[in-house]
Chains A and B, each alone.
Chain A
């Protein structure tokens, strides 16, 4: 029982982290119809800036964190302004999405080179402390991830539903041309979405590399990539879906690892494939994802 409880807490915590990354993918998709495959590399880049500011340049965590977040946000906006916006003019969203794959390769190759064989830490305030409650022990950083993640997700949803940006983004997702006629500046909507996506990625990256994981190394990108199945499971066009998808991916991963001894027929390390299996199952039943809406046919 205690084991299950601790797995659920851990799974929810990891899920909240995936949800943050997936949310970035969904926001960009809704505002520009581009599937951003470069999201994992934004996470790697921003988290590298954060970790290297702390480890290599000796800055305090509270200085390094905003630096990392800002770096990823700025890079994301640059990608949108300099590259993606041009594709939007010709409605070449598939080409733009494939372009982000190339971008992902370039950015990851470069961050991998810089990280090399090092394992960088971020100097986060939770360290390796463990909280004990209800007979279980959970890393403080995991609790923080759950709390901060949930807080960011709530703030984000509020912002989306209350702010002008939220209205503009949803109108754009509905019908870009009408939105544009109504005076919504599509370029600004999209740039904001990319900035948010970059910032969220680093908030997630911070917790992915926090205790009990040893720190930032090149294997983190495979973890970050699991935000893609999370976004698809929830439905690419649904922010609620991103949260649900993130949680499902986090829980499936932790539960499969935790119950690995009963799942030996699936082979060791199946937790890394589990989110993808889950995605296939969901897509077979609901091709647009759990919360996604099937595209309307227009003739």
Chain B
């Protein structure tokens, strides 16, 4: 199916030479990420928050596409289930709009579970259909979802959209400015808190994903991808693991959906369309399909690109002004689409392959330790 993915490489590197120099890199990266809100302005912090939230969704899709070899184009549907699940559970009921008025934290948790349940409900198909077939079948969820979102006005507010309830714990606004907090003299308001909250959740969910992928579950995923008949002959329940991966990826999508809704503060149905699914697919493909770090990098790229183009469009020749045909949306779409084509054509392992090469180039300058020599 897919080219042999980098599962083994990551595990091997993690187990051997990598540990020694992964740790300092991770520490430096961590310090930088934690320090950025002390220096950067709102634009960059929002950019980061959206990228972190999207990265959670991308990691979920990567597990399904890259590690199990199952295509899904329904990611936007599960993002929407998370987002609207949260809105429904967390908003008070009013004339003409549904709501359960739950406290916002349990509402967020249950909304993520709802997305998982929706994924589980699809398992009769997610378990039986393979690869690209599942991709086409999953298109159905996007179109059914879009229909429901536009029709169910009490849930979504129809074309005009609906406000997203704030996330509060007691009187603490998790993504707001009250009560006042500050770090090293820098006040932590909406943008700063958005950055930290999404970053922490991204780190936790990424660790969870890496642990799952390194476990017997992750090995079963790879076996289903690399040879389902052989996997079954070893006692791996192929359909079960396909459903598990689909459900897991919908949970990640649901969580990303809740966070995106919180960051947007107001959501409209048309956002959760097929094109959004394709954006997530682009994140995964750009990241190299099977790499956790790649998916995160891909998400950062795809989610930031339109915002950066918007901000700097005046500086880019031919793009300036609202009158131009070649607006930021056009350029961004051509770039995702084009990158999917170019990366699959030249380097199916995407950004992950670039990282491997860079690492090799750096390590090759050092003497090779004894345990590195290949056994003959």
Contact = CB atoms under 8 A, between A and B. Distances in A.
Touching chains A and B, CB distance < 8 Å: yes
A220 interface: no
Contacts of A228: 136, 139
B151 A268 contact: yes
A260 interface: no
Contact of A35 (B136, B334, B337): B136
By DSSP majority rule, is chain A's interface helix, strand, loop, or mixed? Answer: helix
Interface in B140-166: 140, 143-144, 146-148, 150-152
A102 B139 contact: no
Contacts of B275: 105
The residue in A93, A97, A231 that gathers the most chain B C-beta atoms within 10 A of its C-beta is A97
B143 A272 contact: yes
A1 to B, nearest CB: 30
B305 interface: no
A94 interface: yes
A135 interface: no
A127 B147 CA distance: 32
| Nearest 3 CB-CB pairings of A with B | A102-B340, A105-B337, A267-B151
A270 interface: yes
Contacts of B129: 283, 287
Contacts of B336: 102, 105
Contact of B136 (A104, A232, A297): A232
B341 A95 contact: no
Contacts, number: 128
B136 A95 contact: no
B134 to A, nearest CB: 10
Contacts of B333: 105-106, 109
B229 A103 contact: no
Contacts of A106: 333-334, 337-338, 341
Interface string A54-97: 00000000000000000000000000000100110010111111
Nearest to A282: B137
Interface stretch (A144-152, A174-182, A273-281): A273-281
B1 A276 contact: no
B71 interface: yes
A95 B69 CA distance: 10
A198 to B, nearest CB: 18
A103 B137 contact: no
Contacts of B230: 299
Contact of B334 (A110, A232, A268, A297): A110
Chain B CB count within 10 A is highest, among A90, A97, A98, A297, for A98
Contact of A270 (B147, B282, B285): B147
A250 interface: no
Interface in B322-344: 325-326, 330, 333-334, 336-341, 344
Most chain B CB within a 10 A radius of its CB, from A86, A95, A102, A299: A102
A92 B47 CA distance: 35
A105 B133 CA distance: 19
Given A228-B136, A283-B129, 9 more contacts: A92-B3, A95-B3, A102-B282, A102-B285, A103-B340, A103-B341, A229-B139, A276-B139, A279-B136
B125 interface: yes
Contacts of A134: none
Contacts of A272: 143, 147
A107 B69 CA distance: 26
B229 A97 contact: no
A290 to B, nearest CB: 14
B86 to A, nearest CB: 22
Given A229-B136, A269-B151, A273-B143, A83 B278 contact: no
Contact of A94 (B2, B128, B136): B2
B57 interface: no
B69 A94 contact: yes
A98 B285 contact: yes
Q: Taking each of A83, A96, A225, A280, which has the highest tally of chain B beta carbons within 10 Å of its own beta carbon?
A: A280
A97 B124 CA distance: 23
Contacts of A283: 125, 129, 137
A277 B152 CA distance: 18
Contacts of B306: none
Size band of the interface chain B makes with A: 35 or more
Interface string A101-143: 1111111011001001000000000000000000000000000
B2 A280 contact: no
Contacts of B137: 232, 279-280, 283
Contacts of B229: 297, 299
Contact of B140 (A107, A268, A279, A287): A279
Given A267-B148, A272-B147, A101 B125 contact: no
B135 interface: yes
A277 B71 contact: no
A111 to B, nearest CB: 12
B147 A94 contact: no
Contacts of B136: 35, 228-229, 231-232, 279
Given A113-B330, A232-B133, A102 B339 contact: yes
| Most chain B CB within a 10 A radius of its CB, from A267, A276, A287 | A276
Given A276-B139, A297-B229, A102 B337 contact: yes
A267 B330 contact: no
A276 B140 contact: yes
B237 to A, nearest CB: 16
A91 B129 CA distance: 20
Contacts of B3: 90, 92, 95
A236 interface: yes
A86 B337 CA distance: 18
Contacts of A229: 136, 139-140
B338 to A, nearest CB: 5
A2 interface: no
Contacts of A104: 337
B281 interface: yes
Nearest to B145: A273
Contact of A280 (B128, B131, B140, B325): B140
